[in-house]
Amino acid sequence: MTKTSLPALTRIPVVRLRLIASLAFSVLMISQCQSQFRPPQIEITPKDTVGYGFLQFDNNEIENRHHLDPVFHKLYVQRTRGGQKVNIVHIGDSHILGNYLTQELRSRLQFHFGDAGRGMIFPYKLAGSNGPRDFLVESNCRSWRSSNCQRNLDEETPYGISGFVLETANSACDLTFRLRDTATAETRLFTKVTLFYKKTPETPQIEISDDLTNQKAQLFLEDEYTSSFYFDRPVGQFTLKQIRTDARQNNLALDGIELENELSGVLYHSIGVNGGKYLDFARAKYFASEVGVLKPDLIILSFGTNEAQGRMESRTFYRQIDELVGQLREQAPDACFLFTTPADSYLRGKGFNPYMPDVSATIVRYARDKGYACWDLFSLSGGENSAQRWKTSGLMSSDSVHYTKFGYAAQGKLFYQSLIKGYNEFVLTKP
């Protein structure tokens, strides 16, 4: 009985292990190949649309969308075969900093093309600024100093990828980030943390860990601007600690943080500074170099609101655009460029802005001259003096410069529609 019953007793776990292994393999194969079962085109649904009558819907398209064909091709391959990481870097002013507009694009693109992670974040709260609401930041101390590229008027400024810097001379200061959306309570997971920071002999070593899962991330990649740490298992939070190995190590200057999950799909980085202009980012010494580290496939530039808050010669503005683009092209030579014009706003929040049409026209002209793609939100949103219609519709905030979260959501949906229309046209005409 013992000889015949022993195999019967051991057969159950063996079968169970085989079943578990089979199911795990099936899940892996489905997750890797699921894109092959999806049609290459994307349907624009009612959830992606807005119904405000004052909008010029015929203008909702990407001008010179063929410039974006390399990006559309990569998205097409990702959707049909998988295995692609599509890096989009969206740079702008306060309209981008708040993340309401960009979140509409990020969530929709990642739903259809795969989610490769949250992308760039920064401890804006500790830097005395508003910021996105889909992550939380805490620190065990208050001895942090901060500034940004808009506040510093020097000809060349020491800022990197976020346009901000957060510094401390207290090596006991920790930072904890939680990737938790305060609106939905959703927690997103990641496995890779890349720190952008200035490395000098005075910089302490960095340790990245997660107390919740009892993991210490391993430093795997390091270069002039970054250090990349990997967790063995996905986490929803991490703590940055400083480790002094030398008495001189008493200054940390943090430029930004990138979060990834190491899966294929879209990484949509949003970078913004309140009051930001093209020239502010062009003066930031390390900005273009650190953007180049991301290896962007597409760089979206959304400025103009602040340039239009006073009189500026179009030639001067044109030259400032070209200065930033030249720096970015040098560091990211394979990136495509997409320009957006600003929606209308009041002059210093008090009334009709006579400078907005010329600023928007200069952005459009620059894109045409250089052969770049452009999304003309100014014309789409109603053009000259259209801010009043946005405001009476409850889409503009009380300062008459910024928009409500519903206004930004509408703009994000419109931008998404234009991108998907361009992508679908690419798919239809693809040989």
Q: What is the pLDDT at residue 75?
A: 98
Q: What contacts 195, CB < 8 A, 6 or more positions away?
A: 206, 208, 226, 227, 228, 229, 240, 254, 256, 257
Q: What is the pLDDT of residue 37?
A: 60
Render each residue's pLDDT in the chain as its tens digit; 431 residues: 333 333 333 333 433 333 433 443 343 344 444 444 678 999 999 999 998 989 999 889 999 999 999 999 999 999 999 999 999 999 999 999 999 999 999 999 999 999 999 999 999 999 999 999 999 999 999 999 999 999 999 999 999 999 999 999 999 999 999 999 887 888 999 999 999 999 999 999 999 999 999 999 999 999 989 999 999 999 999 999 999 988 888 899 999 999 999 999 999 999 999 999 999 999 999 999 999 999 999 999 999 999 999 999 999 999 999 999 999 999 999 999 999 999 999 998 788 999 999 999 999 999 999 999 999 999 999 999 999 999 999 999 999 999 999 999 999 999 999 999 999 999 999 87
pLDDT recorded at residue 332: 98
The predicted pLDDT at position 32 comes to: 42
pTM above 0.85, yes or no: yes
Q: Which fold has domain 42-116+265-431?
A: Rossmann fold (3.40.50)
pLDDT of residue 182: 81
Q: SS3 string of the chain?
A: CHHHHHHHHHHHHHHHHHHHHHHHHHHHHHHHHHHHHCCCCCCCCHHHCCCCCCCCHHHCCEECHHHHHHHHHHHHHHHHCCCCEEEEEEEECHHHHCCHHHHHHHHHHHHHHCECCCEEECCCCCCCCCCCCCCEEEECCCCCEEEECCCCCCCCECCCCCCEEEEECCCCCCEEEECECCCCCCECCEEEEEEEECCCCCCCEEEEEECCCCEECEEEEECCCEEEEEEEEEECEEEEEEECCCCCCCCEEEEEEEEECCCCEEEEEEEECCCCCHHHHHCECCHHHHHHHCCCCEEEEECCCCHHHCCCCHHHHHHHHHHHHHHHHHHCCCCEEEEECCCCCCHHHCCCCCCHHHHHHHHHHHHHHHCCEEECHHHHCCCCCCHHHHHHCCCECCCCCCECHHHHHHHHHHHHHHHHHHHHHHHHHCC
Nearest to 377 by CA among 75, 369, 367: 367
Topology annotation, domain 120-262: Jelly Rolls (2.60.120)
Each domain of the chain, given as residue ranges in start order, spans 42-116+265-431, 120-262
Cα angle 275-183-267, degrees, rounded to a multiple of 5? 65
Q: Say how far apart CA 332 and CA 180 lie, in whole Å.
A: 31
Contacts of 400 (CB under 8 A, 6+ apart): 345, 346, 349, 350, 387, 391
Predicted local distance difference test score (pLDDT) of residue 350: 82
Terminal CA-CA length for the chain: 70
Q: What angle do CA 142, 145, 149 make, to 5 degrees?
A: 145
What is residue 143's predicted lDDT score, i.e. its pLDDT? Answer: 93
Quick one: pLDDT at residue 324? Answer: 98
